[in-house]
Structures are given as C-alpha cells and as structure tokens.
Chain A
C-alpha cells in the first residue's frame, strides 16, 4: 500500500501531464486546420456542458446548509442574468449565503 500523500502526488502528475499533452500536441505537431464541422461543434459545446454538469446540482451542496446554498444559487443566477462580472457574481452569492446562515 502506498501512502496517501504518494497517491495524491501520482494523481497530481497524471493530471498535469495529460493537461500539458492536450495543449502541447496540437501546437507542436498539428499545423493544419481541423476540417470536421462535427468535431469543431463538439469542442465548442464541451466547455458549456462541462461547467453546467459540474455546477448542477453540486452548487446546492457547496455549503453546509442546503437552503442557504439555494438562496446563494438564486442570487448567482440573478446577478449573472444582469451580466455582472465573475467576481461580483461570486461576492454577491457568498454574501447571500453568509447572511442566510447567520439569520
């Protein structure tokens, strides 16, 4: 059995290695354009799909109190609808959670 820390470091290097390869391979070896419309579309949609799948439903469990998180989520959605910057949306959402927890 390897130690917990060794396991964590192996995962860290695996993560960093694969992420570097994804960036490096096309820049070094791929000097033509991607033609396939489907592949281009897929890669266009992936970031939105990933962020959405990572956010829902986990945002509701991102703090100890479900209802506080729910209020924070609603505040984030409203703030985002007004197209406020990332940091403002985050600050407002955190503030809403903080107030909800205190009350």
Chain B
C-alpha cells in the first residue's frame, strides 16, 4: 500500500520486452499477409486497428477469400472473446484516473501480454501507467507488420516459403509447453486439432464450411467440452 503510484515511464519500461516480442510476431504476420496477396499498407492498417495475433491471422484469410461481414465478425467474436473477460478483470484493477473517456481509449490496447503485466501489479493501476505500458507494444506491432509485409514482397521465393511457417511455429510455442504440463490443456488442444483436421480432410465438411467458421466451431466445441469436464478453479488472472 505504501508503494508510490506507477508513472508513465514505469509503464514504458514494463512494455519494452512486450514490444520486442510483438516486433517478431508481427513480422511473421506481415509475411503471412503478403503471401496471401494483401497490400503492405493494408496489412499495416489491420495491425494498427486490431492489435491481436490469432484474430488477425484468421481475419486476413477471410479477407483474402473475400468472405462475408457476418463471417469475419463471428470469427473475431469467438477468437477475441477472451478480451471480454480481461476487460472485466481490468475494470476492477483500474483506479479513479480511468474516467469513462479514458476507458474508451485504454480498451483498444488490451492484449494478452499487456493484461498480464497490468494484473500482476500489486497496487491499482492508473491511466498514465497503462498507456505507457501500451506504447512500445503498439509501435512494435505496427513496425513489425510493416517490415514483414515489405520483406514478404521482396524476399526470394525459397525464403518466403520458409517464413510462411513462422507464425504457426510461434503458435506451437504458445500452446505446446502448457499442454505438456497440464492434462486439461492437453485435452483441449488435442481435441481442437483433431476436429480441425477432420474439417479439413473430410471432403463433405471442407466443401461446405469455410475455414473461418470451421476454426471457431472446432474451438468452441473443444473449449466447451474442456470447461464441462475440467472446470477451472483459479481466477483468469493467472
């Protein structure tokens, strides 16, 4: 309780490692968008207005296929639903400096990592600290996308092809370690992967269901099953 209030520059310092991480993930995203044929500036605009990796990857696939507005909104709703719970949790953690107007601004910068750092603070957090925390991740995310999108356009085909796996490899790095340690997570990711493969390899499903819808259906079924069989005890605030 006797700790001094967090300042803008404390936020900047805490945001630096997140920003560096985002630079590399966004680079991989930029390459992926370029491989799908999206213009570099368009991909950059996506990153500047969305700030979310899995949602953006699903989004660019739908955009490249010129899917429907309903599809892209439903897919984002499911993939990004976790931000809803983070928003609820952050709402408790925010101090009086978060007026309604400032909440409208801060909301755009809720990501898994920014949330995790905010919630790990012992004291309540103020608006200046939160925005300091968001600055470098936002710059890293934007800059990484620009670099990746242009790199994807100019690199030789063999290198491009190799970079195409980067974002997926990062997803493996996110889900595999917790899955190996915790059976409930292993169950969730295995079921989701199995269902997703079924949707892809069974011609009847593949021909009648777009990739975006297939992913959210598989994800919701797996998460719903896991939640029913293995209810989570602790709070989301890991």
Given the interface pairs A22-B83, A51-B54, the reply to whether A80 lies near B176 with Cβ below 8 Å is: yes
Contact B178 A93 (CB under 8 A): no
* A24 to B: closest C-beta gap in Å: 4
Interface membership of chain A positions 14-40, coded 1 if the CB is closer than 8 angstroms to chain B and 0 otherwise? 111111101111111011111001101
Contact B170 A11 (CB under 8 A): no
Contact A95 B55 (CB under 8 A): no
Docked pose: A55 CA to B200 CA in angstroms: 12
Number of interface residues of B (CB under 8 A): 100
* A80 to B: closest C-beta gap in Å: 4
Number of interface residues of A (CB under 8 A): 75
Q: Within the complex, which residue of B38, B79, B231 is in contact with A38, where a contact is CB–CB below 8 Å?
A: B231
Known: A11-B67, A22-B83, A52-B189. 4 other contacts (CB 8 A): A16-B46, A55-B171, A77-B172, A89-B169
Interface residue B81 (Cβ < 8 Å from any Cβ of A):
yes
Contact residues in A for B176 (Cβ distance below 8 Å): 77, 80-81
Interface residue B230 (Cβ < 8 Å from any Cβ of A):
yes
Interface residue B205 (Cβ < 8 Å from any Cβ of A):
no
Specify the chain A residue showing the minimal Cβ separation from B115: A23
Contact residues in B for A76 (Cβ distance below 8 Å): 165, 168-169, 172-173
Contact residues in A for B188 (Cβ distance below 8 Å): 45, 48-49, 52
